[in-house]
Amino acid sequence: MTDDLLAVLRPLLTAEASAEAPASGAEPADLEQAVWLRLLERLDSHGPPVDPPGWLRRAVRAEARRSRRTTRFERPYEREPADERAHDPEHLALTAARHRALREAVRRLPGRCPALVEALLSPDDLTYREIAGELGISQGSLGPERSRCLGCLRRLLTPEVAARGARG
């Protein structure tokens, strides 16, 4: 009896799940799986439904509503959550890739900007006076020059960085 019921309901479930999935934000296969689970639970506790096709349609719509509610309240992370395993290979590889991309963008900057940004990124934590002396420019012009260079760097990196989510 159960095998016959499953064979009869399978095409209907596939069609119903495919129809409801786009509006619910779920994959059709996920809806199908949830309804199969619900059917198994029902068979275990109450036996087969009196009207299997009608029950199946209601179950698919209920799962689609549940999926919509869940999707509505889920929010993506603005950034990755803090990872306590900061020294795992994946984290180290991603960090190295970000640093490489930044250094490549710095090398593409115009004029004195590559030298200035490299000095700002230096692990020696140079002061403005030391940077100005190293680059041979006045300390007073270092701030405006830094702003201009960082603006150029921001424009270079914008296409390479994922867009931020909507604010507010």
* CB hemisphere CA count around 20 (13 angstroms): 25
Question: Where residue 32 falls among pLDDT bands split at 50, 70, 90?
Answer: very high
- Per the CB < 8 A criterion, the answer to whether 160 and 113 are in contact is no
Q: Burial, 32: exposed, middle or buried (Cβ in 10 Å; 0-12, 13-18, 19+)?
A: buried
pLDDT of residue 83: 52
- What does pTM read for this prediction? 0.45
Per-chain mean pLDDT for the chain: 84
pLDDT of residue 84: 53
Q: What does the H/E/C string look like for 12-56?
A: HHHHHHHHHHHHHCCCHHHHHHHHHHHHHHHHHHCCCCCCHHHHH
pLDDT of residue 168: 47
pLDDT in tens, 17-28: 999 988 888 889
pLDDT of residue 98: 86
Residue 58: pLDDT over 90: yes
Residue 166: pLDDT over 60: no
Q: In 3-state terms, what secondary structure has residue 109?
A: coil
The number of beta carbons lying within 10 Å of the beta carbon of residue 160 is 11
Domain limits, CATH 1.10.10, in the chain: 97-160
Mean pLDDT of 80-101: 75
CATH 1.10.10 fits 97-160, yes or no: yes
